Amino acid sequence: MKTSAFFALLATSLWSVSAAPSAADLEKRKAGLRLIKTAPKDAGRWVTEEEKITIYHSKDIGFVDITDIKDSDVLRILSTPDGEDTFSAQAVTYPTAVSRQSQVNALLPLVSTTQPQSWLTSLTNFYNRHYKSTYGTQAGDWLFNTVKSVASVNSAITVTKFTHSGWNQPSIIAKIPGNSTNLVIVSAHYDSTGGSSSAKSPGADDNGSGVVVILEALRVLANNKFKGKDTLEFHFYAAEEGGLLGSAAVFANYKSTGKTVLAVVNQDMAGYSPSGKISIYTDYVDSSLTAYTRVVATAYTGATTSDKCGYGCSDHASARSNGFPAAYVCDEPIKTSTPYIHTANDALSTIQWPTILRHAKFTVAFLVEASYL
Ligand SMILES: [Zn+2]
């Protein structure tokens, strides 16, 4: 996750981004520079991969890498300030109360931190999971094999690598087919960053925590041969820290292939919570889905908190800019969130396991409830 406390200061340009690159832009691309936006009214600036980390991550400035985004509708949404939306996500009417209590309550006691502890140990043992490093690719291989192994108890579940052009780290998608092809998606990015592309970055809270939370939900649903009305997908994104690159490619593909997506709930940081409450963020999201997400979280985990994290905060922004309803669930409001984000100190030892358990239970509850949307 990134926070954009200072994004307003960086809104230097008022014209919107053009989809057609100029000759000068093509030269910059060839030189390996990347075009990033730090705010809706930021026309974009060309930076090196290293500057993404040393200038923007280091100051907690959120950004979206738009170098490869060709879709003018997506660029228009990325250039529209939050709350001034002139677009509508795929229209879904969400319930105002939960309705699958007996089914959810039978599954919640099966949610545990035993496997998450083992998985997060493995994830944090990679020196880093930078999307362009060999460690980041190795982490992708490990995660793909681990997701496949978790899913293998139910032959109906498919696990695929979504490969990207420009870097080797794949995104990974597990699917539990329902009676309908309409999709309900939970997501978490698995890459990490820690001060430079070659720096140690265990990425325990950001975002090994989100990864093990949705993996635990997959384990419980797979073991119980869960099948709902809607199809459930578990997305593990590459390259979030590069400017939401993995999720942008996945949702561009979903848009161009005409998929129907009823909900995307992204979790980025799910393992450190002094407040002991799930935090549901309210900016650059679908407000109806966010309200429904809060209904489910409150019903099964108790009171929640709120915050805003600004522009380019995490992968829900990619779902939203491609026209899909998206919500963002975090472990804590920003002020009291982990102080170790994007450093070598974002270590396994800082993880609070009751927080992981809370988010994993929320994820199981959300998937079961939402699978009947
Ligand atoms: Zn993150």
So what's the pLDDT on residue 22?
81
- Residue of 60, 241, 331, 346 marked catalytic: 241
Q: Rounded to whole angstroms, how far apart are CA atoms 273 and 279?
A: 9
Q: Rounded to whole angstroms, how far apart are CA atoms 328 and 307?
A: 10
Mean pLDDT by 10 residues, the chain (373 residues): 48 46 85 96 95 92 96 95 76 95 98 98 98 97 98 98 97 98 98 92 98 99 98 98 98 97 98 98 96 98 98 97 97 96 96 98 98 97
The class that CATH gives domain 101-370 is alpha beta
Is residue 254 within 8 Å of 322, Cβ to Cβ? yes
How remote is the CA of residue 33 from the centroid of ligand 1, in Å?
Answer: 22
> What's this model's pTM, rounded to 2 decimal places?
0.95
How remote is the CA of residue 209 from the centroid of ligand 1, in Å?
Answer: 10
**Residues forming beta bridges with residue 65, ordered by sequence position:** 36
How remote is the CA of residue 23 from the centroid of ligand 1, in Å?
Answer: 34
How remote is the CA of residue 238 from the centroid of ligand 1, in Å?
Answer: 11
So what's the pLDDT on residue 182?
98
Is residue 266 within 8 Å of 319, Cβ to Cβ? yes
Task: Cite the residue boundaries of each domain of the chain with CATH code 3.40.630.10.
Answer: 101-370
Residues in the chain: 373
- Residue of 57, 164, 235, 342 marked catalytic: 342
- The amino acid that residue 8 corresponds to is A
Catalytic: 342? yes
Q: Rounded to whole angstroms, how far apart are CA atoms 239 and 171?
A: 8
**Residues forming beta bridges with residue 188, ordered by sequence position:** 236
Q: Rounded to whole angstroms, how far apart are CA atoms 180 and 84?
A: 33
Catalytic: 241? yes
Is residue 326 within 8 Å of 289, Cβ to Cβ? yes
Is residue 227 within 8 Å of 362, Cβ to Cβ? no
Give, in degrees to the nearest 5, the angle at Cα 279 between 274 and 280. 175
